[in-house]
């Protein structure tokens, strides 16, 4: 499948942004995409059946629609992966990077999050969810200010070498502080939305 020039540029941009952001973990989490420390990290393939990379996120997954989470899938992680984690972040928010979703301690045998993941602190498989920047547990979708232009929503997936000792409902700073130095592989898929 051939990517358009725009989609290819977004994929490359996503990789560069993630790498730079992970190295900048000492900054506040709302100014940094993610955290892992300076160890060597492998690339993790991340896709979605709900939207194409670099394309508009359908309304059903936004605050203007049903506000359910999209399906997110990822590839094989390196040996030593104990759990996965995922964040959804909007770096284009007016007051800095806005977190729409934090989910961690996803079992290592998992390779996807289904559409419409429950908005509960602890899921049936043991995965735990943090508090997003709306002050809620679980996923809350795109809802940028009207007329603010296109926002980019980064669905970041991390393969971690240990289960995080965090309480469900943790915030973004607590999540990234706990994950720092434990990321074995990472990847992202980016969707767009504007009002």
Give the model confidence (pLDDT) of 21-75 as tens digits.
443 433 444 444 444 343 457 899 999 999 999 999 999 999 999 999 999 999 9
- Structural domains in the chain, sorted by start: 5-111+120-193 (3.90.280.10)
As a whole number of Å, the CA-based R_g of the chain is 15
What is the DSSP pairing of strand 83-90 with strand 98-107?
antiparallel
How confident is the model over 88-108, as a mean pLDDT? 96
For the ranges 1-5, 61-65, 95-99, which has the lowest average pLDDT? 1-5
Q: How far is Cα 163 from Cα 105, in angstroms, rounded to an integer?
A: 6
Looking at the DSSP assignment, which residues form a beta bridge with residue 103?
Answer: 86, 129
Q: What is the pTM (predicted TM-score) of this model? A: 0.82
């Amino acid at each position: 499948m051939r990517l358009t020039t725009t989609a290819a540029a977004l994929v490359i941009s996503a990789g560069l942004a993630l790498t730079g952001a992970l190295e900048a973990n000492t900054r506040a989490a709302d100014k940094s995409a993610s955290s892992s420390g300076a160890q060597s990290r492998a690339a993790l393939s991340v896709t979605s059946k709900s939207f194409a990379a670099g394309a508009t996120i359908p309304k059903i997954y936004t605050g203007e629609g049903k506000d359910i989470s999209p399906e997110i899938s990822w590839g094989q992680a390196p040996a030593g992966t104990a759990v996965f984690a995922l964040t959804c972040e909007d770096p284009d928010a007016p007051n800095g990077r806005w977190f729409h979703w934090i989910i961690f301690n996803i079992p290592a045998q998992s390779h996807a999050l289904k559409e419409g993941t429950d908005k509960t602190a602890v899921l049936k498989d043991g995965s735990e969810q943090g508090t997003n920047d709306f002050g809620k547990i679980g996923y809350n979708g795109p809802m940028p200010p009207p007329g603010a232009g296109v926002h980019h929503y980064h669905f970041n997936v991390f393969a971690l070498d240990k289960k995080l000792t965090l309480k469900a409902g943790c915030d973004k700073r607590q999540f990234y502080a706990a994950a720092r130095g434990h990321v074995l592989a990472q990847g992202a898929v980016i969707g767009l939305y504007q009002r």
